[in-house]
Amino acid sequence: MEKQINGKTRTNDEKKNQESHEAQANMWKFVFGFTEMAVIKCAIELGITDFLEKNQEPISLNQLSIALGCCYSSLYRILRFLINRGIFKETSTKSGKSGYVQTPLSRLLIKEGENSMAAFLLFESSPVMLASWHNLSARISSKDNSMSSFEAAHGKDVWKYAEADPKHSNLLNNAMACDARVAVSAIIDGCPEIFEGVNTVVDVGGGDGTTLRLLVEAFPWINGINFDQPHVASVAPHAIGVVHVGGDMFNYVPKADAAFLMWVLHDWSDEECIQILTKCREAIPQDNGKVIILEAIIGEKEENIIRGSNNKKLKDVGLMLDMVMMAHTSNGKERTTKEWAYVLNEAGFNKHTISHINAVQSVIQAYPS
């Protein structure tokens, strides 16, 4: 009996030691979690992904360092780190030397790639956006919770900052365009029927017009109105079938068959969302108009996942986005299905449907009658 007890004791001790070691390993990852973002940013800025994409054959370290004008030994260490993360792959060149090639993950970092997320990473890793994270605890510990972490860091909210800083505004617009290319492609593939019979679409907060340009290309019968703040709309590039209009969505929204909002409402409180959605309802036909919303939908309670996501690895993205909203905005948040139902009903939309696509966001269609 004593041996069995001792055996059980040893087993329990071994389990506790293993859990302790795993906890320490995970904590080190948290301590140095920023390094992955920083090193990936470095790879984008050096142009590693773009060079490898242009040269389909494996490229040796010597070739890469000469072409990019980089320090040989430092570049090796950067690549070693990224290969360990599944970004880039080491293989043999034709001459038998060690060389580097792209992976599906590294192709998402090509600056001009179709599904590139490079612009989004460059935006979120910019000193301006990172500064707000250092003020997160101060915001939460304040009783009124009235000032965003971003505003505490910079003295103005993210939109006024972008308006005053064209360089940062360009980073923001490029990041939103980057996500639009992925999300719109998922809509076109997953539920193209939502644009049947829709002749005019106003993209509320449409940035540089990338979303509407892609929609018009896919559904050429659509006439697009790209609606954003005047300093954004005034510099948006020309696109066939799209007109750019500057204005304030809290005051009015241009008339159209459908209003489209992608990653706009999560920036605002419930009351502000209701105000924006009310303006959208006033802009569309009451009998057959609709509002199309693309947002992440957080799972209820212990699920803590993006509802309906086709990729289980995206389960934490919604919760991370919610933290981003807390750091970057005053009242923004990601919402559950119940929270979306509340703001839609309060804004006068009696019916809505939710379609899940192969993206972080889901598609919400809201109808006034």
What positions carry a catalytic annotation? 266
Contact present, 50 and 67 (Cβ < 8 Å): no
Nearest-10 Cα torsion for 29, 32, 33, 38? -140
CA–CA separation, 42 and 283 (whole Å): 45
The HSE-up count of residue 215 (CA atoms within 13 Å, CB side) is 33
Coil, strand or helix at 206: coil
Pairing of strands 258-262, 242-246: unpaired
DSSP three-state, residue 226: strand
At residue 103, φ and ψ (nearest 5 deg) are: -130, 165
Secondary structure (3-state) at 262: strand
- CA pair distance 363, 292, nearest whole angstrom: 7
Q: Which of 243, 252, 250 is nearest to 206 (CA)?
A: 243
Q: 266, 265, 243: which is closest to 256 by C-alpha? A: 243
CB 149 within 8 A of CB 132: yes
Question: Hey, CA dihedral for 227, 230, 235, 240, is it positive or negative?
Answer: positive
